[in-house]
Amino acid sequence: MLVLQDVHIGYENEAIARCVGHIAFAKAKFIAIIGANGTGKSTLLRCMASGEHLLKGSVSLNGKAIAQIPLENLSKDIAILTTDRAISKSITVMQLLEISRAPYTNFLGRLTAEDELVIHTVVADFELKDLQYRQLSTLSDGQLQRALIARALVQQTDYILMDEPTNHLDIHHKAELLIKLKNHCKVHGKTILFSTHEIAMATSLADQVLYFNEEYIRFKSAEEFKKKNILQQLFPSPFLSWNDGQYTLKDSNL
Q: How is residue 84 annotated by DSSP?
A: -
In this structure, how many other beta carbons lie within 10 angstroms of the beta carbon of residue 14?
8
The least CB distance from residue 83 to ligand ATP, in Å, is 7
In this structure, how many other beta carbons lie within 10 angstroms of the beta carbon of residue 67?
14
Comparing CB distances to ligand ATP, the nearer of 11 and 239 is 11
- The footprint of ligand ATP (CB under 6 A) covers 11, 16, 35, 37-43
Comparing CB distances to ligand ATP, the nearer of 50 and 132 is 50
Task: Give the angle 35-38-39 at the CA atoms, nearest 5°.
Answer: 45
Comparing CB distances to ligand ATP, the nearer of 136 and 217 is 217
Residues β-bridged to residue 78: 159
In this structure, how many other beta carbons lie within 10 angstroms of the beta carbon of residue 189?
11
The least CB distance from residue 149 to ligand ATP, in Å, is 17
Comparing CB distances to ligand ATP, the nearer of 98 and 198 is 198
The least CB distance from residue 16 to ligand ATP, in Å, is 5
Comparing CB distances to ligand ATP, the nearer of 11 and 133 is 11
The least CB distance from residue 197 to ligand ATP, in Å, is 7
Comparing CB distances to ligand ATP, the nearer of 115 and 198 is 198
8 Å CB contact between 247 and 200: yes
Residues β-bridged to residue 247: 242
List the one residue out of 64, 44, 61 whose CA is nearest residue 53. 44
The least CB distance from residue 41 to ligand ATP, in Å, is 4
Question: Alpha carbon of 235 to those of 71, 80, 143, 246: distances in Å?
Answer: 37, 27, 31, 12
The least CB distance from residue 153 to ligand ATP, in Å, is 22
CB neighbour list of residue 115: distance below 8 Å, 6 or more residues apart: 98, 101, 104, 105
